[in-house]
Chains A and B, each alone.
Chain A
């Protein structure tokens, strides 16, 4: 039995049955990471020593009896913008290169209380700003399916780690597609929960009205399993919703889609969509129909406005959130500065990379006197129109099905010199964040070049169960998840 090849839920069952110990799990993943990490570069920090200690402590606390906390003994990778007490959390930025959080994010506290094993912290675009991990201050991660291609971003390290079997599952964060797009590029499952479903306390803020933590996993069952372990109301996050957490695993009992109405928005199949992607997504829609779903054409007429709306709102919020990096309370401080203003200016010059600076500049511009109404106010109003489009669609259908990305994974450097082109590639994922609704990305085929293609299902707020049920039925009726990358 190769432990690293098991899904999270398979490993959980074996662990609970006493067929595998935490120490064996840590050893197996240590070997696997040793084999492939030099090629994939998924991790910023590997918790090699502390994970061994965690496993020993767990073994000692168990003393012969088996407990069934869902994540007990489960080896997970965590995106490096989620605070882990005592383990460096860098946000892939020079600014936080030496930052060791004095507290755990709420999702980490929940996992720790269940006895999870932290394998390490995964790479991302600096401060989660990007779609390729090329903006990481520590160098990019690589796509396990083709090392010349990006893994996507910003949670590219998490998606690559899951695809390369360097962890059983991972957490990512999604502000404009940062869980779903890398999941699609790496051929794994990524779930962005409803805004408010998962506490963001301890998630280093990028755009507070959009950010959400979610699972990146080997299959849909694992996504349901891990979401259940991290979801729920948190008094420490005033934007977390006081909505009961259902048993997401129960959503997987039904294997058909009878009585489900599924909408296909014409706007998501417009020009610019790669033919391989279109073919795979169209075939998936036929499969959803064969499973008993009723397919209906719908409209999301303001889809074209999403990129512009997003890049005003997200950068405005980011420029405000990132004002805290001033070289005083934590993080980098520039040396040889003449006064406090000079210290601020130089610290931020040295600490931030080009994309972060670009977004701070854009956000500051759209919030500045004389431009606020024309840009920020306008974008907030258009955001309302985009939400209204989703509200109207969800009166007609239970789910919306779309591609995740216009193309499969691109090569390094293909878009990094042209920020607007990079932004436009987020077109299919960002309206979901603007509307605050949940969405899942799951594999639905491969391009002719052998790169994975993702299918996106979008649901009503707090109806993750419907998403998971449909995703599971589709996954079980197809074979995509069986294919694994050969890393070379």
Chain B
């Protein structure tokens, strides 16, 4: 399976990864090699075979819906690159508009 540089760029965007030109070139080659190997799976007949998502056979694990102690806010935000008043700070998301 050969993949193109354009596909690499598309996937990188989906993955929210900015790549350098040399990374794009390397990944185009390496991902093609790896996907070629992955295509060997085609030789295995999986008609009617249930996919395995987990080996334990569990379906849903429930617990009572009760309030429990949790991390205090100041510790929950302690590792944030930027926080203020117990909130995570991010760049402005909503565009400025002229007042109506």
Contact = CB atoms under 8 A, between A and B. Distances in A.
Interface of A: 98-100, 102-103, 195-196, 209, 235, 238-239, 241, 302, 304-305, 307-309, 311-312, 319, 323, 326-333, 337-341, 343-346, 348-349, 352, 354, 357-358, 360-362, 364-366, 368, 375, 377-385, 387, 419-420, 423, 434-436, 461
A209 B54 contact: yes
B12 interface: yes
Contacts of B27: 357-358, 361
Q: Max chain A CB contacts within 10 Å: which of B7, B61, B79?
A: B79
Contacts of A385: 44, 46, 49
Contacts of A343: 90-91
Given A382-B44, A423-B34, A365 B56 contact: no
B38 interface: yes
A195 B88 contact: no
Given A239-B56, A345-B16, A382-B44, A327 B81 contact: yes
Nearest to A364: B15
Contact of A420 (B16, B30, B42): B30
A358 B63 CA distance: 37
B53 interface: yes
Nearest to B75: A102
Q: Max chain A CB contacts within 10 Å: which of B3, B31, B49, B78?
A: B49
B67 interface: no
B82 interface: yes
Contacts of B41: 305, 308-309, 312, 378-379, 382
A348 B50 CA distance: 35
Interface of B is mostly: loop
B79 A384 contact: no
B25 interface: no
Given A364-B15, A420-B34, A384 B52 contact: yes
B19 to A, nearest CB: 7
Interface of B: 3, 7-8, 11-12, 14-20, 23, 26-27, 30-31, 33-35, 37-42, 44, 46, 49-56, 58, 61, 63, 71, 75-82, 88, 90-93
A100 B79 contact: yes
A357 B15 CA distance: 9
B44 A196 contact: no
Given A235-B63, A346-B18, 20 more contacts: A98-B79, A102-B75, A102-B76, A102-B78, A239-B58, A302-B44, A305-B41, A308-B39, A311-B34, A328-B90, A330-B79, A339-B91, A339-B92, A345-B16, A357-B19, A377-B51, A382-B46, A385-B44, A420-B37, A434-B52
A340 B91 contact: yes
A362 B26 CA distance: 13
Given A348-B18, A420-B37, A384 B50 contact: yes
B66 to A, nearest CB: 12
A100 B75 CA distance: 10
A354 B17 CA distance: 11
